[in-house]
Amino acid sequence: MPKYYIITYGCQMNKSDSEKVAGILENLGYTPSEKMEEADIILLNTCSVRERAEEKVFGKLGELRKLKKRNQNLLIGIFGCMAQRMKEELIEKFPHVDFVLGSYKFTELPKILESLDGKKKVVLAEDIPSPQDVDFRVIKRENKFQAWIPIIYGCNNFCTYCIVPYLRGREKSRDPEEIIREVEYLASQGVVEVTLLGQNVDSYGKDLGNVDLADLLVEIHRIPGIKRIRFLTSHPRDVSDKLIRVVATHPKVCPHWHLPLQAGSDRILRRMGRGYTYSEYKALIEKIRAEIPKASFSTDIIVGFPGEEEEDFLATRRALEEIKFDTVNLAIYSKRPGTPAANYEDPIPYETKKRWFDELENLQRKIIYEKNLSMVGKEEIVLAEEVNPKNPRELSGRTENYRLVFFEAEKELIGKFLLVKITEARLWSLKGEVIREVDL
Ligand code: SAH
Ligand code: SF4
Ligand code: F3S
């Protein structure tokens, strides 16, 4: 039996694609390899969102060169966003790569594996095809009680810094009935938590015309067995009152919002092409908090966008102070070839950007620690997810509002909902004690 090994970089969409690829390979008789060195086929699922993401893949490809020297029969394939961006250049630069599959082309894997005779190199990455659903019974999910479910592919927004729309194509929503069938099937298999995915999950249905994310949440909420529903990423411009109302009134829908702000300065937001001002964004947060008092918010911030000045940075700092996000993913701006911002003047030295980055990071540390402290003494429902790799007596899991909690418990409780009393705040997590198992 040939063995496969997949390495995944990038966003949740990529994690979901890797689960599909694993399923496709197992359907062909491949088995997973514990160790990369023992695999017959190694696949890299790649990300292009920042230069750093691509550098990691280049580093890994360097490592793989040695493996290929030792074992000429080893197959190495690249898929995901870098495959779409670089196409044959990947094989020119890394001749030990056997095939390159651009966005959504991994469904062709069975044909390609059949046609590869050890010499032939295959590059399938010209036009971005319309994404095809993979039979959901085939998908090899990472875990038995939680599932990622992409509901909309691609992006129409073309923020000026971002390469995603060029690599994933235009928005395409999946058929709602097919999604419901998938969730029903997953529930019958013991899945209790589903996360609906999209680059802009709240654009769901715009291209179909008669359904939106709120409708889909209501339908999924009806499915017995499903206890928690999450969704991400939301675009601040597309969050409707109807969606807020549905989240507020459907207890299985977790009140956690991933709402990338990107910058606190209106001048920069305009240059990014985000389609909202900071005060509009803040009003949205306030509206959600008014309807859903326990709502939590995570966000993405780009530091040092071309032309950003000290006062723009200060506006972003003020935004973090005002809104007090639960999680902030900070990234220094990375120039992406082919995007409009790549042509903007970018006179700010890297050292300044790094100082801004560090300042925001320190600020967020304080904010999150204070927030964590305020949770001590509370009782929260946590879905036990995995053993703490640093302490085998502990499990970790997440609260409804996506806080990470560690607590002592037996492995058998993984996949169960537990009532946990929060006893201690740490910087990036909470510690708690299990009170009892709960039947939701
Ligand atoms: N569709 C989502 C996520 C897209 S990529 C959204 O609209 O937010 C995830 C994050 O990567 C973005 O939110 C952005 O903060 C960051 N990002 C995208 N392009 C970037 C770039 N060129 N440099 C730095 N960060 C970038
Ligand atoms: Fe990129 Fe903007 Fe689309 Fe998000 S909304 S994927 S940041 S272009
Ligand atoms: Fe990266 Fe592509 Fe996702 S660029 S963030 S893997 S959509």
Write the burial class of residue 111 (CB in 10 Å: 0-12 exposed, 13-18 middle, 19+ buried). exposed
**pLDDT tens column, 33-71:** 999 999 999 999 999 999 999 999 999 999 999 999 999
What Cα–Cα distance (Å) separates residue 205 from each residue in 34, 154, 284, 328?
40, 13, 21, 28
**pLDDT tens column, 328-373:** 999 999 999 999 999 999 999 999 999 999 999 999 999 999 999 9
**pLDDT tens column, 230-270:** 999 999 999 999 999 999 999 999 999 999 999 999 999 99
Look at residue 117 and tell me whether its pLDDT is greater than 80. Answer: no
Q: What is the pLDDT of residue 121?
A: 87
User: What is the phi/psi pair of residue 195, to 5°?
Assistant: -120, 115
Gap between the Cα atoms of 212 and 222, Å rounded: 16
The least confident of 18-22, 112-116, 142-146 is 112-116
| DSSP-derived 3-state class of residue 383 | strand
What mean pLDDT is predicted for residues 115-123? Answer: 80
Q: Note the ligand closest to the C-alpha atom of 155.
A: 2
User: What sign for the dihedral angle of Cα 6, 9, 12, 14?
Assistant: negative
Gap between the Cα atoms of 196 and 276, Å rounded: 24
**pLDDT tens column, 381-404:** 999 999 999 999 999 999 999 999
Residue 378's identity, in one-letter code, is K
pLDDT-derived band at 120, boundaries 50, 70, 90: confident
Rg for the chain, CA atoms, rounded? 22
pTM: 0.96
Query: Which residues 6+ apart lie within 8 Å of 117 measured at CB?
Result: none
For residues 122 and 112, the answer to whether their CB atoms sit within 8 Å is yes
Residue 333 tokens read as 């701006």
Q: Which residues are annotated as a binding site?
A: 11, 47, 81, 155, 159, 162
Q: How far, in Å, is the centroid of ligand 1 from the Cα of 331? A: 8
Instruction: Name the H helices within 28-79.
Output: 51-70
- Ligand 1 atom 13 nearest Cα: 300
Q: Note the ligand closest to the C-alpha atom of 157.
A: 2
Look at residue 116 and tell me whether its pLDDT is greater than 90. Answer: no
Q: Which of 204, 257, 302 to mutate to test the pocket of ligand 1 (most atoms within 8 A of CB)?
A: 302
Atom of ligand 3 nearest to the CA of 13: 3
Look at residue 170 and tell me whether its pLDDT is greater than 70. Answer: yes
pLDDT-derived band at 118, boundaries 50, 70, 90: low
Q: What is the mean pLDDT of the chain?
A: 96
Q: How many residues does the chain have?
A: 440
Atom of ligand 1 nearest to the CA of 233: 2
Nearest to 200 by CA among 258, 126, 241, 283: 258
Q: Which domains occur in the chain, in start order?
A: 3-124 (3.40.50.12160), 146-372 (3.80.30.20), 379-438 (2.40.50.140)
DSSP 288-339: HHHH-TT-EEEEEEEES-TT--HHHHHHHHHHHHHH--SEEEEEE----TTS
At 378, which helix (H) or strand (E)? Answer: none
Q: Is 81 in the pocket of ligand 3 (CB under 6 A)?
A: yes
Look at residue 214 and tell me whether its pLDDT is greater than 90. Answer: yes
Atom of ligand 3 nearest to the CA of 82: 4
Nearest to 286 by CA among 317, 254, 323, 320: 323
Atom of ligand 3 nearest to the CA of 53: 1
